[in-house]
Amino acid sequence: MPLRCAVLDDYQGVATTLADWSPLSGQVEVTSFREHLATEDELARALADFEFVVTLRERVPFPASLLDRLPRLKLLIASGMRNSVIDYAHAEHLGITVCGTQSTQAPPVELTWALLLGLARNLVTESEALRTGGPWQSTIGADLTGRRLGLLGLGKTGARMAPIGAAFGMDVVAWSQNLTRERAEAAGAQLAASQEELLESADFVSVHLKLSDRTRGLLGAPELALMKPTAYLINTSRAAIVDQEALLAALREGRIAGAGLDVFDTEPLPPDHPLRTAPRVLATPHLGYVTEANYRTYYGQAVEDIQAYLTGSPVRVLG
């Protein structure tokens, strides 16, 4: 009997076509799940007979309680080399190896700019009007040249944002709790005096922070109140960095010009979630890393991870 591998959240049905799984032929049988398994009970039932599981990013938590219910699981592969929703210690206790894959920072940066530009030029409104016989021009776009781009976080993704902003003629400032003036200037940004100064002065605020105890809820009602009513917020990082209720209130009351969102407190976003109908929102279904090149890397290296595990020499081990 071949070993079994489950690929979770294969929404587009591409897991077995964007990578060459033939090296595992005869050894491993691959099953992809195109529908999201939302509860621990669903996951436990669906994955009970699998030795290998491939999960994308942090879409599915693997706490100790779930790992205990997967008696056959030997290898858990997560795309990327960092994952905050896997209980590594308990996996090790159970003899489960956890491996990752490489990833690139370019796709989420590109999507961030797509959201920012879409908001600034009201592309959805104008495109929909053109397609449905609506008014010929009904909005006035926000300029980028001469405006201030505020980057909350200047790590791998934030640092890629700065030169692009400069290429648009924007004044780029950045802030995070440990950011130094030297690091900011090396990335092509000015160091904001404080988070408050950045929020008060920026015309576009883009979030590029890791989720941690320090950043969870970092932008709440008091922080959003500092933003200009003409300013836009873009979040392609983690939903929990921004207080969702406070953001909804700011949007409904017109206290900020709009928000570009790719991350949500619950994913997939429930049909009745208020962000689906909130005003001044341009939203995408967590597409940050969803590009062909990234998926070829994720699934191709997942195959490599399985091959290495089968030979007794796991690679890209996490934990």
- Which residue in 57, 147, 148, 286 is the catalytic one? 286
Determine whether 267 is an active site residue. yes
The catalytically annotated residue of 200, 267, 304, 316 is 267
Which two three-digit tokens encode residue 307? 């091959």
Residue 277 is which amino acid? T
Does the annotation count 51 as an active-site position?
no
- Residues 106 and 84 sit within 8 Å (Cβ to Cβ): no
Residue 286 falls in the annotated catalytic set: yes
Rounded CA separation 280/230 (Å): 11
Which single residue is written with the structure tokens 């206290």? 255
| Cα-based angle 279, 266, 16 (whole degrees, multiple of 5) | 115
Active site residues: 238, 267, 286
